[in-house]
Structure formats: C-alpha cells, structure tokens
Amino acid sequence: MTNTQLKPMILSISLLILLLGIWELSIPKQQMATELTEYEMLMGGAQPKAGVPPPSEIFSKAVAELSDPFYDAGPNDKGIGIQIGYSLYRVLSGYGLAALVAIPFGFLIGMSPLMYRALDPYIQVLRPISPLAWMPLALFIIQDSEQSAIFVIFICSIWPMLINTAFGVAGVRKDWINVAKTHELSVWKTAYFVILPAAAPTILTGMRISIGIAWLVIVAAEMLVGGTGIGYYVWNEWNNLDLTSVIFSILVIGVVGMLLDSVFGILQKRVTYQE
C-alpha cells in the first residue's frame, strides 16, 4: 500500500474512532422510570427510558445478529442475512429486467435521431415520477406485493440506464462508425464491435447510478408492502421500539449499498480506456 493510500485510510479511521468516542460518551446511562405509566403497568413493570443507544450497544447487537444471520424463527423473526437476501433478490430481478429493456432501447435512441425525437417526450414525462407513486397501481394490477416491489425497482432503474446508454451511443466518434462502414460491417456488428466498446464506460455509469437508486427505493417499498426484506426489518424493529436494531439495520443498508456500488465501480474502471 502506497503512502498516498495509507494517509487517507489512517485519517478516515481516526475520524471514525473520534466520532464513535464522542457518541459513546455523550449518551447518558439509561435510568429506570420512577413513576409507572398505565401502559408500563399493563406491560408488567418499569421499562428503560427511550433514548439513542451508544455505539457499544449497537456493536453488541451487530455481533449477535451476524453470529447467526440466517436463522428463521417464524414470519416476523428472521435473520438479517435472510432479510438482505430477499431485498437483493427483488433489486436484482427488477434491475435485470430494466437492463434488458433500457440498453437495447438506449442503443436504438442513440443511433437514430428520429427515434430520439419520437420517444423523448415520453421519457421526460415518465422519468420524474417517483417510483413509489407506481406502487398503488402495481398492487392493484399485479395483486402481488413481491412482484409489485420488483416492478417498482424496474421503473426506478430503467431511466438512468436508458439515458446514459443513449448518450454514450450518440457520442461515439463518427470517424469510427465511418471506418466500420468502409469495412462493410452490418449494423449489428457495428453496434457490437465499435459502438458498444466505445460507449461502455457511459453505459456502466448509468448502470451504477441505477443500482444505487434501486437499493435506495427497495427499502421504502418494503416498508409499504411488508413481509420480508431489510426495509420491513427496519420498520418492524421501529414498531418494536428497538432503536439499537434500527440503527444496526441502517448501517447494514449502507454497507450493502457501498458494496453494490463498488462492484460497478470496478467494472467501470475495467471498460474505461486508459491512455
């Protein structure tokens, strides 16, 4: 590891330790309630006053959850690994369907100014609509919460990929396309051997943006449809007033999102031409 890589890492870890230390010291010890409310008496005794948990409690929760992430004790009690698995399945299903539609149509729009002018009004109308606004309609038509969540991911993933693919294809140098014509390459061969490699970095940028949006949206979608998934896990723990689990799950969402972004970041570097 070079010195330029080591210094930022040391600074980042130092800041993390400092922030966690301030957080830990700023949280007072939970005090037992001296006067019981009617609700507390019905629940069987005094409960600790609600408050933001310190990092030490969150760390203990993380150790407990990650030591057995795939346990299944019933509909409302599943391990964090199972919940993430459900969310990733929905995200990758909707995302894959969006890629199958967006990339071919992006090529079509980028290679044909006529198609661009014909389809652009529809894209500009549909693109700003919040993905969650489609959820009631999807639930009514599809009548299945699982498939409705996948449809919402499809809708939110398609636009960045479509627009970036069209932009990348339209930006390919005309000289390269003219060379392909002089070699009498077909449209399909020109698209595959000339346009695709040249537009690949821009296409991967759109795919990278889409996967981030998809992971962000699935959390909100699962809070609405319920049942399983990391979004449902967060909402269920909030209903149980377990802030430690809520914060732990928020951190898990962030880590998984970072890993998904890192995968596409690596792919993007590999297809980018380095002079």
Q: Is residue 22 part of a domain?
A: no
Percent of the chain with pLDDT over 70: 89
Q: What is the pLDDT of residue 275?
A: 52
Query: In angstroms, rounded to a whole number, what is the distance separating the alpha carbons of residues 104 and 107?
Result: 5
DSSP code at position 133: G
Q: Does 21 reside within a domain?
A: no
The segment with the largest mean pLDDT, out of 66-75, 138-147, 157-166, 215-224, is 157-166
Give pTM, 2 decimals: 0.83
Is 165 within the bounds of a domain?
Answer: yes
The predicted-structure confidence for 64-91, as pLDDT tens digits, reads as follows 888 988 988 877 778 899 999 999 999 9
Residue 143 lies in a domain: yes
- 200-216 in b/e form (b: 16+ CB < 10 A) is bbbbbbbbbbbbbbbbe
Phi and psi based region of residue 184 (left: phi greater than 0; alpha: psi -120 to 50; beta: remaining): left
pLDDT at 195: 86
204, part of any domain:
yes
At 248, the amino acid letter reads F
Assign residue 129 the CATH number of its domain.
Answer: 1.10.3720.10
Domain-located, residue 205: yes
- Which candidate, 215, 205, 197, places its Cα nearest to that of 271? 197
Which neighbouring-strand residues pair with 48?
Answer: 32
Tell me the pLDDT tens digit for each residue of 241-266: 888 889 999 999 999 999 999 999 99
Give the whole-angstrom CA distance, residue 52 versus residue 244: 8
User: What residues contact 243, with CB distance under 8 A and at least 6 apart?
Assistant: 50, 51, 52, 53
Domain enclosing residue 100, as ranges = 78-271
Total number of domains constituting the chain = 1
Instruction: Identify the residue whose tokens are 């070079």.
Output: 2
What tens digit of pLDDT does each residue of 22-58 get?
A: 877 887 765 434 444 555 555 554 444 557 788 888 8
pLDDT > 90: percent of the chain: 36
Q: List the helix and strand counts (H, then E) for the chain.
A: 12, 0
Query: H-helix or E-strand containing 112?
Result: none
